[in-house]
Amino acid sequence: MPITNQASGTNINEIAERIYRISTPLEVMPGGFTFNQYLIVDDAPLLFHTGLRRIFPLVSEAVASVIPPESLRYIAFSHYEADECGSLNDWLAVAPNAVPLCGKLAAMLSVNDTALRPAKELADGETLSLGKSVVRWFDTPHLPHGWECGYLMEETTRTLFCGDLFTQPGGNPPPITDGDILSPSEMLRGHLDYYAYSKNSGALFAKLAAARPAILACMHGSAWRGDGADLLKELSKKIG
């Protein structure tokens, strides 16, 4: 696991072709907890999640181990929350050609007022070419929380950047696993329930499953490799 900052334990690992998971462990709960960002290296590089503003130096150091941070073109995130986009303006200041990338609701409700530059807005199902990679946006309001919530999928590797879905505790999980992530994520939900339980959750899970992701790039814990459609359906049953 390549460590980019010895003091913090921030590390970066390639989990799919041209896709890197950046992870910083923080002692925000007993046993530790990780905050992950994902970097797509392409003609128009994209960072999904910014991390908390206070860990911007750590995340930018990790990005710099792969590409110049100023070359970033898109700063994307699932919903408007500090660990999702807390350092958005720090990134926009470092990368002069970068713009926020988010759903239309997030742009309207928050981003276009608070960000240094207006967002590139994506509608549900809309795609964007980064060069070799193509990303698709999925609107997923209130799944697990946030009216403006949504996810990106990189279609070549079928990597779904699934935000807070399958949130796992622990300070030192493997970068990617094919083991059980549903049980630990359900255990955490039992102690710290962060789901909105929208009446539309079932249909939203089905929409994500229909994309047949092969990698689930979780924001907290390990990324996961396997039949993403089946795992999303299993989580849908748990949420009810």
Q: Is the pLDDT of residue 40 over 90?
A: yes
Q: Residues 90-95: what's their mean pLDDT?
A: 98
Residues β-bridged to residue 3: 11
What band does 1 get if pLDDT is binned at 50, 70 and 90?
low
Phi, psi of 66 (to 5 degrees): -120, -50
For residue 207, give the nearest of 126, 140, 122 by alpha carbon.
Answer: 140
Q: Is the pLDDT of residue 240 over 90?
A: no
Distance CA 134, CA 107 (A): 21
- Residue bearing tokens 């359900």: 186
Q: Residues 3-27: what's their mean pLDDT?
A: 97
What band does 100 get if pLDDT is binned at 50, 70 and 90?
very high
Distance CA 179, CA 173 (A): 11
For the chain, give the percent of residues with pLDDT over 70. Answer: 100
Q: Residues 216-233: what's their mean pLDDT?
A: 98
The CATH code of domain 3-239 reads 3.60.15.10
